Chains A and B, each alone.
Chain A
Amino acid sequence: MTPQDAPAPRPKDSATERTRSPPQPADRKTGRSETERAAPTSPLEWVAAGIGALLIAAMIAYMVQYGLREHGEVPGRIDIAVVETQASGHGHTVRFQIRNRTTATAATLRVRGELRSGDRVVEAVEAEFDYLPPYSERFGGLIFQQDPARFELRIVPTSYSEP
């Protein structure tokens, strides 16, 4: 029943070759005889190991290319767009989207919303974001007592700190 009892020099070969290339008959025999002794790496394990190797290589490769590309930009290009305005119990909620278009992270980012009537600021409220990572978007809301539809609405980022 035992194909061969000779001490196999390369016990793992059968497993790798099953995942990589068609196994050679001679190698498979030695691999089999080793199977009954120690617990060798199974083909499935080699597949999982391959996935793991790919994943970590991809993460490293991505971070390296990102590191090479990064120029330490100032998070100056921040876009704000109003998504919707809703009347609520406490006033009028202006929901907005804020996008960072640079590779720098802005921490404790403050956004100021103003309702203006000509040069006069009728009402001003602030929102704060813990973090706005590179090239990402976040949503926030500004709650005004007055109806924003009756005034000119201006939303601008006012300050941030570097993490």
Chain B
Amino acid sequence: MTADTGHSDAATPERPVYEDNRSFLIGLARAFAGALIFSLPMLMTMEMWWIGFTMTPWRLVLLLVLLIPLLIGLSVVSGFKTNASLRDDIADAFVAIAVAVVMSAVILGIFKVLSFDMPAREVIGKIALQSFPAAIGAMLARDQLGEKTAESTQRQDSMTYGQELFLMAVGALFLGLNVAPTEEMVLLSYVMDPWREVALLLLSLVLMHAFVYAVELPGGSKPPGGVGFWSLFLRFTVVGYVIVLAICLYLLWTFGRTDGTGLAEIISATVVLGFPCAIGAAAARLIL
């Protein structure tokens, strides 16, 4: 084993650039696949096309600005290769954005959602909005579709509490983005009575905790000697759910669903959207 590694180590410097580019191209193909898998539901949702040009430009700017640290964080927490420095994570993040923009433009162009005679505002708005989920997908795919090395598994096992929560937030986005732009979120909040909303909230918490418990968080955040119910419930389920609701509120605001809406309706739409987001957050370790 040691002899073998020594041998390959000695052979590598012969053509390091070639090897690097090749593995990068494979990673790039994976990123395209991931961007497509993650964002196809949104590419084929008409609200996503409309929101792209009807939304306030400032909210789109905020979304794009937030995307950059989100991707860098994702690269640090779950990137498929252990990056030696933050600069590699930054590079990964921007590669994911490039992949996302190209993929969104091509697919939307084929769907004729984009065409050359459209004004720049419409084209850029649509591509920019789709790039958000697509870039997350591209970043996740380089991890998910790649081989799980012992190193990456070990890194996932030694996540800090903050990183666990961050991963939960990404999981919430993973499921939540699929439904957040749709009319149904608001419609459901109109239709449901307060008791059903309370029931949905409780169901979200119960299911979330079931997932958290089932996955049992095999991370560094797990205190030695097993964890008590309340510790796990308060530290992951409750905190996670609060993060989930904050993300829901942000998504609804971004998609213009909170504009001119009463507080009660905003809260109820947040709880409705919180349901898929909570499942996504709790199952983050399984699905991401």
Measuring CB to CB, which residues of chain A are less than 8 angstroms from any residue of chain B? 1-3, 11-12, 16, 32-46, 48-53, 55-56, 59-60, 62-64, 66-67, 70, 103, 105, 107, 130-131, 133-137, 163
Contact = CB atoms under 8 A, between A and B. Distances in A.
Contacts, number: 151
A-B complex: 4 closest residue pairs judged by Cβ atoms: A52-B98, A42-B20, A52-B94, A67-B57
Given A1-B13, A35-B20, A51 B98 contact: yes
Given A42-B20, A59-B128, A67-B56, A11 B120 contact: no
A40 B10 contact: no
Interface in B85-143: 85, 87-88, 90-99, 101, 117-122, 124-125, 127-128, 131
B208 to A, nearest CB: 33
B84 interface: yes
B262 interface: no
A50 B256 CA distance: 32
B147 to A, nearest CB: 13
Among A16, A50, A103, A133, the most chain B Cβ lie within 10 Å of the Cβ of A133
B120 A62 contact: yes
Contact of A59 (B92, B118, B127, B256): B127
24 contacts: A2-B13, A3-B13, A11-B85, A32-B16, A33-B13, A36-B9, A41-B91, A45-B91, A48-B95, A49-B92, A49-B93, A49-B94, A50-B94, A52-B96, A56-B97, A59-B127, A103-B121, A105-B53, A107-B54, A131-B50, A133-B121, A134-B53, A136-B122, A137-B117
A45 B24 contact: yes
B68 A35 contact: no
A134 B57 CA distance: 13
B2 interface: no
B267 interface: no
Interface stretch (B58-66, B158-166, B194-202): B58-66
B13 A42 contact: no
B192 interface: no
A131 B52 CA distance: 12
A12 B92 CA distance: 13
B123 to A, nearest CB: 10
Interface string B157-195: 000000000000000000000000000000000000000
A142 to B, nearest CB: 21
B82 interface: yes
B155 interface: no
A136 B21 contact: no
